[in-house]
Amino acid sequence: MGAVGAVGVYHAGSRAVQDRVGVREQADHVGRSVGRGIREVAAAFLELQPLLVAGAADPSTGRVWASPLTGAPGFVRATGPHRVSVAGGWLSSDPLAIAFTTPGTPVGTIALDPRTRRRMRLNGRLGPATRGFAIEADQVFSNCPKYLQKRESYEVVADRRPDESRRTAELTDQQAEFVSRADTFFLASVHGGGADVSHRGGNPGFVRVDAPGELSWRDYPGNSMFLTLGNLAADPRAGLLFLDWTTGTTLQLTGEASTGFGEDRRVRFTVREAVETPAALPLRWSAPQYSPANPDPAH
């Protein structure tokens, strides 16, 4: 699959976090699974998905966002051993609309399937395509199903139309309640030459709203790679995406994040801008079955 190797996977930020936590050896082992090639099983997985989450820095502002892309299965398709095409799928008002049409922009993506509790990440650089954009892959790898809520099925609500996006400098009371109820969000981060999107999941309440412009969450034990926390150690810019799996409403946040390495690792996020789009996505998912790995958010 054209393995990248642990040396090529990790930069100084990730190495610093791995060393601090004492997991460099485990990280080296897991890092060997990262490659540039898109295997047949990965290509088949991508073609089944109606949702892809992309993360990048807006070329015009430098702010980092995570954005949802949707389409009929097949709208994301491997078109070569290191290349994926994405046939549109974003709103014209999306904060990353400019980035998606700027070739060379570093981008991270995650395809997550709640039906099978599988997820796959593909990071690279944007390139032109007939419709939408293409990604020249630098890193392709899968993650375990830990903290991923199972949703048995989804339906496309054909007559659902996005309402106008609302931009604010911090969370409204309604948005704070939305975040507090969330069982899933996506986290975009960047480093010198790349971007990444990861998934965070837990029982409702695992994300805490400490103030209208301040969120925090525990960093649960994962695969020891520390790609996200490593990026944040090198560059604090980050983007969060919360979505309502029933109504299709999305809440995108951009700001800065930092990690506290106390008894429990905790990430704190400062909101610089929030974009809420009612009915942004045409997908209505079934009710979640929470992952048995989810810790009690009260602890």
Q: What is the pLDDT of residues 17-31, one digit of tens each?
A: 777 878 788 878 777
Query: Domain-by-domain residue ranges, the chain?
Result: 9-289
Evaluate whether 85 touches 43 at the Cβ level (below 8 Å). Answer: no
pLDDT > 70 fraction of the chain, expressed in percent and rounded: 97
User: Residue 1 pLDDT more than 50?
Assistant: no
Look at residue 15 in the predicted model and tell me its pLDDT: 83
What value does the mean pLDDT of the chain take?
A: 92
Look at residue 162 in the predicted model and tell me its pLDDT: 96
d(CA 80, CA 77): 9
Which string of DSSP letters, residue by residue, matches the chain?
--B--HHHH--HHHHHHHHHHT-HHHHHHHHTT-BSS--HHHHHHHHT-SEEEEEEE-TTT--EEEEEEE-STTSEEEEETTEEEE-----TT-TTTTGGGSTT-EEEEEEEETTTTEEEEEEEEEEE-SSSEEEEEEEEEEE--TTPPEE--EEE-TT--PPPPEEESS--HHHHHHHHH-SEEEEEEEETTEEEEEEEE-STTSEEEEETTEEEEE----SS--HHHHHHHH--EEEEEEE-TTT--EEEEEEEEEEEESSSEEEEEEEEEEEEETT-S-EEEPPEE--TTPPPTT-
Name the pLDDT band for 2 (thresholds 50, 70, 90).
very low
At 124-165, the pLDDT tens digits run: 999 988 889 999 999 998 878 889 999 999 999 999 999 999
Look at residue 34 in the predicted model and tell me its pLDDT: 78
Domain range 9-289, CATH architecture: Roll (2.30)
Name the pLDDT band for 299 (thresholds 50, 70, 90).
low
pTM: 0.94
At 61-86, the pLDDT tens digits run: 999 999 999 999 999 999 999 999 99
At 189-233, the pLDDT tens digits run: 999 889 999 999 999 999 999 999 999 999 887 777 778 888 898
Give the residue with greater pLDDT, 274 vs 12.
274
User: Residue 118 pLDDT more than 50?
Assistant: yes
User: Residue 3 pLDDT more than 60?
Assistant: no
